[in-house]
Chains A and B, each alone.
Chain A
Amino acid sequence: MIPRLGALTQDTLWCFSQVKGTIEIGATEADIISTVEFNHTGELLATGDKGGRVVIFQREQESKNQVHRRGEYNVYSTFQSHEPEFDYLKSLEIEEKINKIRWLPQQNAAYFLLSTNDKTVKLWKVSERDKRPEGYNLKDEEGRLRDPATITTLRVPVLRPMDLMVEATPRRVFANAHTYHINSISVNSDYETYMSADDLRINLWNFEITNQSFNIVDIKPANMEELTEVITAAEFHPHHCNTFVYSSSKGTIRLCDMRASALCDRHTKFFEEPEDPSNRSFFSEIISSISDVKFSHSGRYIMTRDYLTVKVWDLNMENRPIETYQVHDYLRSKLCSLYENDCIFDKFECVWNGSDSVIMTGSYNNFFRMFDRNTKRDVTLEASRENSKPRAILKPRKVCVGGKRRKDEISVDSLDFSKKILHTAWHPSENIIAVAATNNLYIFQDKVN
């Protein structure tokens, strides 16, 4: 796909908005962002990091005085979601890294989110407190109990305003249900259940019940020596609470219907593209391994990300995707090196925009790519401190694959493979994106005219 430069008014112009995180090069590994997620209204933006922390940003109300400055995201709450654990029986340390965060739809004043590490899912309630009761009868102002004999009158406690306090409390802990590493969680559209998927199994939970879950997919072979495929991602259909998909390390997607049977080992639909014989190599399977699967907001399509491409599938067509986008095909000739340094195993995520017309995914050198499904145009942008002037328009980047390198292009061999954009998020209704670049979170918005 050759990107053409259309008239500027037709393409979205992306501008730098904010960057969060430390600037120092020697930032600790615990600060590396491992997941990013907007909530359903886009008012909140959550990040999880390798140190087990969750940071939630809230968009400030847009003021009429500053129409050119769209609402900025500021820190709303920070809490330690998971701690490192030690499994004494196996002598293993369980990493506290947050693998995924998923928001629940808001049903009252409080916000709820699920966060998970390799083994345990937690439901967190984030709520505000801006009033405090004062005037207790049995306690004094410091909370000490009063001697009832000294009380001569009764009064009704009143609520008085206080400085806003945002508190996060763990409401449920869903533990001990996964032998292998959890890679996905997905909230069901019934808002009563959710699923968690590890390498070999998928479990269905009820939010109210923590001591048991239903196993709905189990691909563990009776003999582990026969294991050739693992589950890499899973997601519920956005509207049909009985339907979900899961992807595999062999590049396949299975759609399952929970009404068909309790254990959904037999899929309802099986999506796989036949291998292109001209592209066959020893690394074919590794690069076909799907690292992320996402339903479109409409529920009509699924998008998958493998090492070199993003594919869009129509749920009604199983034998091939309807669209394939090359993310960084120039890496195809470098697969051996990327295998050697393990980059070929990197798991990139992908996201839809609110209208399902544009898809976005990350690459190396802090590049990320957007593909417009309608115009078939694509753009490569970079998340870097150099482009960090407020409202600076991001300049499209280009990788030179061979021959003469133009002035603004970067050659494949100059790419920094340690700077990888694995996690991105798109606001549910506006053109605001969050891009995680190692320990920094970049927020970009489209240009306000």
Chain B
Amino acid sequence: MMLSKGLKRKREEEEEEKEALAVDAWWLEPGHPAVAQAPPAVASSSLFDLSVLKLHHSLRQSEPDLRHLVLVVNTLRRIQASMAPAAALPPAPSPPTAPGIADNLLASSDAALSASMASLLEDLSHIEGLSQAPQPLVDEGPPGRPSGAAPPSLGALDLLGPATGCLLDDGLEGLFEDIDTSMYDSEFWAPVSEGHKSSPEDGPGKEEAPELDEAELDYLMDVLVGTQALERPPGPGR
């Protein structure tokens, strides 16, 4: 029932200092003084990674448990807030407003969650070469595809990792030209259902600036790396 202990960490050098919340230590050394519940001011990345993993796992369910999802997202928010309290977060792009369609029991949950995912894709599509914003569908979501790929309150990329590390030397185009966009066909990025998500026409109107600054690029990198980490089969560490 336990999740794998060997979570792959992106910034392994920092982990050694953060034993207090390292998952392994908890299980093996119950008497360890670090076990005492004095929540550190800053959460370790492992807890953050664990939460992101849970979020993705929850979203991969054909019908996510809403309570589990909401609790994980709220916890992720707390962790993220403690990790980067001072970072100047770029303003969250305003999500597409869900049109006032009468509550359709069959489509509303898909549509609402998909709206979040659409806004996420919207931002990613600003990046050169990723203009794969899904086409709007007039009718219900295509049958046979699972719904609910977006967390309900992921209104911003600010949820997906603090801005650290990756400098992008060769500019935007060079970075992404080798990205295989077929990842957007994976079940994680489920196509959105009718009407409730942004259409490509909305895109240009929402573009805030033609260029993204470094902080935003870091966020987006984390998104992409995080998603790709999911697609990769478990490595030897697991």
Contact = CB atoms under 8 A, between A and B. Distances in A.
A417 B67 contact: no
Contacts of A342: 1, 3, 54
Identify which of A93, A177, A228 gathers the most chain B CB atoms within 10 Å of its CB.
Answer: A228
A249 B153 contact: no
Contacts of A176: 105
Contacts of B70: 227-230, 249
Contacts of B147: 90-92
Nearest to B115: A224
Given A200-B66, A226-B155, A282 B116 contact: no
Nearest to A218: B103
A181 B75 contact: no
Report the contact-size class of chain B (Cβ under 8 Å from the partner).
35 or more
B23 A180 contact: no
Given A249-B67, A282-B78, A289-B67, A417 B1 contact: yes
Contacts of B75: 282-283, 285-286, 339
A289 B47 CA distance: 20
Contacts of A282: 39, 43, 47, 75, 78-79, 82
Interface in A77-100: 88-93
Contact of B98 (A222, A279, A339): A222
B237 interface: no
B37 interface: yes
A238 to B, nearest CB: 26
Interface of A is mostly: loop
A197 B70 CA distance: 17
A214 interface: no
B62 A93 contact: yes
B113 interface: yes
B152 A224 contact: yes
B161 interface: no
B82 to A, nearest CB: 8
Nearest to A417: B1
Nearest to B1: A341
B35 A333 contact: yes
Nearest to B111: A224
Most chain A CB within 10 A, of B37, B78, B143, B146, is at: B37
Contact of B116 (A181, A224, A281, A413): A224
A23 B39 CA distance: 43
Contact of A228 (B68, B74, B119, B146): B74
B65 A181 contact: yes
Interface in B31-70: 31, 35-37, 39, 43, 47, 50, 54, 62-63, 65-68, 70
B111 to A, nearest CB: 9
Given A225-B116, A225-B154, A282-B47, A230 B105 contact: no
A89 B23 contact: no
Contacts of B21: 336
Given A282-B78, A340-B23, A180 B66 contact: yes
A334 B66 CA distance: 24
Contact of A91 (B65, B112, B146): B146
Interface string A178-206: 11110000000000000000011000000
A88 B143 contact: yes
Given A223-B98, A340-B2, A91 B30 contact: no
Given A230-B70, A340-B2, A280 B39 contact: yes
B66 A336 contact: no
A289 to B, nearest CB: 6
Contact of A413 (B30, B108, B115): B30
Given A224-B98, A285-B71, 4 more contacts: A90-B63, A90-B106, A225-B119, A282-B82
16 contacts: A89-B107, A91-B147, A177-B105, A224-B112, A224-B113, A224-B153, A225-B153, A229-B70, A230-B67, A289-B67, A332-B37, A335-B37, A336-B26, A339-B75, A345-B68, A412-B30
The 5 closest A-B pairs by CB, nearest first: A224-B112, A225-B155, A227-B152, A199-B66, A281-B39
